[in-house]
Structure 1
Amino acid sequence: MENSGKIILYHGSKSGINGPIAPISTDRCDFGKGFYMGTDRNQPLTLICNYPEAKLYT
């Protein structure tokens, strides 16, 4: 993170994002349905690393 007031967020997708972003994750996620992002690049990578079509978004 820089002191510019901007935060870099990361999102991992098992098959990429197509169309509008919608909270379609399962209810079993930590905080329920939602579009999850985080500030640690490695966290989404651990969730998508075994999927050949996976995408990491910044």
Structure 2
Amino acid sequence: MSDDKSKSQGQDRERINVNQEYELRDWAKSLKTTPERLKEAVQAVGDRADKVREYLGERDKSGS
């Protein structure tokens, strides 16, 4: 299923699609991480942005 670029609010903005290059790049920049770490986070906790933020924050605190 392709990403609906016409959606700028709601559920679509709270999910990270690592299969769309522009989304991967933009989310990685927004979360101040690399695309590789972002993919790792999505693999670990799913595509919900709040869970990914939490995961990345915990990883930073643990020094990993």
Same fold (TM over 0.5): no
Structure with the higher helix share, 1 or 2:
2
Q: Which has the larger radius of gyration?
A: 1
Looking at both structures, which has the greater relative contact order when contacts are Cα pairs under 8 Å and sequence separation is at least 6? 1
Band of TM-score, shorter chain: under 0.3
TM-score scaled to structure 2, two decimals?
Answer: 0.24
